[in-house]
Amino acid sequence: MNTPLTEQELHNLAMNHVGKDLEKRGFEFIAVNSKLKKHPQFVCIDKHKQYYFVIVRAVLLPENPNNYDVVWMESFKKHAREKDAKVLYAGVGLANIQNKKEPVYLNQQYLMEYNGIQFLETNFN
């Protein structure tokens, strides 16, 4: 029997992928929060001790994983400025590899759209 992944499991799958990417880029993890709708998912520092708040968003394809709530993100950027942190966004699109209209199932292959980590400018316009 096929068991569809829950929203939390899809989020965790996306976080695992983004976490590996951050590791490859040399970031050091300070904190990890995998709960849905709790932001940021990762607090990292780079080799220059600059803090980064990383937002991970998992969506089901064909929804565009690179889109995010611009109004909400502005309030989050304000929070980052107050903490002297930079903001990174990582959208991950997931789909059933056999049929995109079906859910992503546990222990089955899936399709992933990931265009990398986006740096979001936190300065005022």
Q: What is the pLDDT, as a whole number, of residue 81?
A: 94
**Residue 86: Cβ within 10 Å count:** 19
Q: Is 34 helix (H, G, I), strand (E, B) or coil?
A: coil
Residue 22 main-chain phi, psi, to 5 deg: -60, -40
**Residue 70: Cβ within 10 Å count:** 7
**Residue 123: Cβ within 10 Å count:** 6
Q: What is the pLDDT, as a whole number, of residue 71?
A: 93
Which residues is 4 bridged to in the sheet? Answer: 105
Q: How far apart are CA 118 and CA 122, in angstroms?
A: 12
- Global pTM value: 0.92
Which sequence spans correspond to the domains of the chain? 7-120
Q: What is the pLDDT, as a whole number, of residue 124?
A: 59
Which CATH number fits the domain 7-120, given the four candidates 3.40.1180.10, 3.40.1350.10, 3.40.50.300, 1.25.40.10?
Answer: 3.40.1350.10
Q: Is 26 helix (H, G, I), strand (E, B) or coil?
A: coil
pLDDT per residue, tens digit, the chain (125 aa), is: 789 999 999 999 999 999 999 999 999 999 999 999 889 999 999 999 999 999 999 999 999 999 999 999 999 999 999 999 999 999 999 999 999 899 999 999 999 999 999 999 887 54
